Structure 1
Amino acid sequence: MKEQTLPIIDTDVHHSPDKKEVLAHMPKALAARGLALPGGNGFGNPHGVNRRDATPPGGGEACSDPAYTLEHHFVPNQIRYGILHPAGLLAAGVSADYRYAAALCSAYNDYMLESWLSFDPRYVGAILVAPNWPEAAAREIRRLGGRPEFREIIMTSASESPLGREQYWPIYEAACEMGLPVAVHPGAEGNGISNRPYAGMPSSYFEWHTSLSQNYMGQIASLAIEGVFNQFPELKFVAIEGGIAWLPHLLWRLDKNWKALRELTPWLTEPPSELIRRHVRLTTQPIEEPEKPEHLLQIFDMIHAEETLMFSSDYPHWDGDDPRFVLPRKLDEAARKRIFYDNAAELYGLPPQESTVSEEAANSATPTN
């Protein structure tokens, strides 16, 4: 079996936070309600979402034990850093109770500082915010954005309105002020106050899971057309777990229509594809698997993958990617290094490959704190 030798930054690791501990950080009146989030469209994966082997030996949810996660995922896959995203909490961003949602996000962020982020430096935090109250999200970003434990802002890709609208601009302003990228992750589409996705509500998990990329196309088109990247030239936007093969079509269509309709968006003084190339980053999982592998290499070339693409495993989910097999075999070594490590290191301000954690720490699951 092929051995994974290149160092990796995994940009999407789904840890399972201790829900009771998160609620303990909330005001008592709100915590008494428990975990009250919208969700459930009447369907799900019939086999479950998580890998069974990701369950810690002592029991509990998959990826709920930081020591076992290092042993089971980080060490064997040469992962030097992993960006942590919370399982089960992103739906706060589509809750009609925006005050509860903001309090839950703050509680989660405080919990992370006391738990996973103090356990081992290989764990990298993302500030959870709820876009349903942008002003509160901006305050949370400014409250914690200076902490080195946090290198990203994470929120749901589902939204009441397209994310380019000015109502969300306080989030982007705070992100640029603190020098952090804004990332979105799917899962809450069609729930709570979210837009109804795609052509309408899907009837099965199969349809829902397949069609998620359509929402990403709409969100990135909105960000470009509404002028977010012009207003915030330092903003970086990360589209997590949305695939990649749809992006060339979107870029071509945007550029063609911009040439004919640019009077509608006078603030766009260059092709939208150039803006998106500079500002948007994608993650590998779930990467498309065409019948002819060379077609994926062509997609890589079309999206400038050596600049825009970052490895993500989606651990511990059922369709997660093994780094030994995720990239095309004919991809050159320089591009592999950038996708596995350098692009994320530059985005998140992490050490370059040559000066990452020591070999002892990289090959041991022993916590350093």
Structure 2
Amino acid sequence: MYRREQSCPTKTSGNLSDTPIIDTDIHAVLNWQHVVECLREPWRSRAAGGNRASGPLGYWNPNGVMRGDTKLEDGRRIESSAETLGEHFFDVYGISFGILNSGNLHAALSPEPDYAAALMTASNATIVEDWLKQDDRIRASIVVSPTDPQLAAEEIRRWKDEPGFVQVMMPSGARIPYGQRFYHPIYEAAREIGCPVAIHPGTEGSGISGPPTASGYPSSYFEWHTSLVGSYLAHLVSLITEGVFIKYPELTFVMVEGGVSWVPPLLWRFDKNWKALRQTTPWLEAPPSELVAKHIKLTTQPIEEPDDISHLHQMLDMFPAEQMLMFSTDYPHWDGDVPDFTARLLPDRLRNRVMYKTAAELYGIPVGVAA
């Protein structure tokens, strides 16, 4: 179990004037016509006719899922192009680099694996042309459909020579937990190209994924959104107990937009149960918390906001946040966190690690360039 050797003062500051910022979760709205143009037949005609594979469940957010200030006076949305994102987001908030995570993950859970894979290829091609080639500050995730791991592995290898892709992204909604051997071809391909694998929420209950909670289907967006962390708990326990990081010791897994408050109690329970039940997973020769600290990364948004900020700082003392936690805005979504807001919540001892250093190391972004 992780233990901090010495307690540190919980000073905080929102001043980022001298701090590079790497945002690990930015969303773009891909130009659907460009996606369609990147498809081959028979998929092109199908997509042009309006079939986008799986969609969201339909839970209603009364304020919409996008921030109200992301629409420009001329009607364009900031997240609709690299030009507007650069001018109105990167420049305004001082973002040095950002990881673009496609919002097209619902399509990855189509019941038709070939169509899902084709849509992922077209989405990735659109990301390259419309985003990576337009702004050197943008990096991106290769989006894949986990429904056919062999096709997903082919997709990962397809983009191995595109330097702007620094990560593999899957939806957190899934039919079975991500530690199971069914998914190993994805991890093998990610290992080959030297990229971490990430999951992102929002697809729980969509397409051919299971119900969004272990108890079934919630009745409201509020309930669904609050319960999303459940899939992260399940995937993390599965990845560790199934031995993914024993088989792939170089692999890092990024849990995007899952919060952090659940991590310490899970690690306590995980290590306790390992001591009693380790015979069921004989390949785990060290406490699970050690593997988590080495192989798992988390992103800040939506970071928990207790009334007493010292409670958050105590929680961040309970796991190795200095090596696991990376800054993210989730821009342009309604509950996103801008850089100075997150910086004010963090103790000063963590600020540089969280705001850019850990991400720079993971994604191979030279700190000298980011600075």
Shorter-chain TM-score bucket reads over 0.9
Give the alignment partner of residue 101 of structure 1, picking from 111, 116, 128: 116
Match of 1:83 in 2: 99
Percent identity, please: 48
Give the alignment partner of residue 258 of structure 1, picking from 261, 274, 277: 274
User: SS at the partner of 1:299?
Assistant: helix
Deviation at 1:210, TM superposition (A): 0.4
Match of 1:11 in 2: 24
User: SS at the partner of 2:342?
Assistant: coil
Deviation at 1:37, TM superposition (A): 2.2
Are 1:297 and 1:328, in contact at CA under 8 Å, matched by a contact in 2? no
User: Deviations along 1:280-320, whole A, 9 cap, x unmatched?
Assistant: 00000000011211011111111211110000000001110
Q: Map 1:31-70 to 2 at 5 A.
A: 31-34=44-47, 35-70=51-86
User: SS at the partner of 1:63?
Assistant: helix
Deviation at 1:4, TM superposition (A): 3.4
Residue ranges of structure 2 left out of the alignment (5+ in a row): 1-12
Deviation at 1:52, TM superposition (A): 2.3
Match of 2:163 in 1: 148
Deviation at 1:149, TM superposition (A): 1.1
2-side partners of 1:275 and 1:145: how far apart? 27
Are 1:16 and 1:62, in contact at CA under 8 Å, matched by a contact in 2? no
Match of 2:242 in 1: 226
1:251 partner letter: L
2-side partners of 1:337 and 1:8: how far apart? 9
Q: Map 1:126-275 to 2 at 5 A.
A: 126-198=141-213, 199-275=215-291
User: SS at the partner of 1:28?
Assistant: coil
1-side partners of 2:231 and 2:133: how far apart? 35
User: Deviations along 1:338-365, whole A, 9 cap, x unmatched?
Assistant: 100000000000011x3337xxxxxxxx
Identify the structure with bigger relative contact order (alpha carbons < 8 Å, sequence gap 6+). 2
Match of 2:4 in 1: none
Match of 1:335 in 2: 350
Are 1:93 and 1:159, in contact at CA under 8 Å, matched by a contact in 2? no
**For residues 62 and 330 of structure 1, do their structure 2 counterparts lie closer, same or farther at Cα, with a shift above 3 Å needed?**
closer
User: SS at the partner of 1:168?
Assistant: helix
1-side partners of 2:165 and 2:319: how far apart? 28
User: SS at the partner of 1:47?
Assistant: coil
Report whether the alignment pairs 1:304 with 2:320. yes
1-side partners of 2:301 and 2:346: how far apart? 19
Give the alignment partner of residue 33 of structure 2, picking from 14, 20, 45: 20
1:247 partner letter: V
Are 1:293 and 1:328, in contact at CA under 8 Å, matched by a contact in 2? no
User: Deviations along 1:115-172, whole A, 9 cap, x unmatched?
Assistant: 1110010010211101011001101111112321111111101111110110000000
**For residues 239 and 245 of structure 1, do their structure 2 counterparts lie closer, same or farther at Cα, with a shift above 3 Å needed?**
same
Match of 2:370 in 1: 356
**With structure 1 as the length reference, what TM-score do the two structures score?**
0.93
Are 2:14 and 2:343, in contact at CA under 8 Å, matched by a contact in 1? no
Match of 1:366 in 2: none
2-side partners of 1:207 and 1:115: how far apart? 36
Are 1:185 and 1:240, in contact at CA under 8 Å, matched by a contact in 2? yes
2:329 partner letter: S
2:363 partner letter: Y
**With structure 2 as the length reference, what TM-score do the two structures score?**
0.92
| Structure 1 runs of 4+ with >4 Å offset | none
Residue ranges of structure 1 left out of the alignment (5+ in a row): 358-369
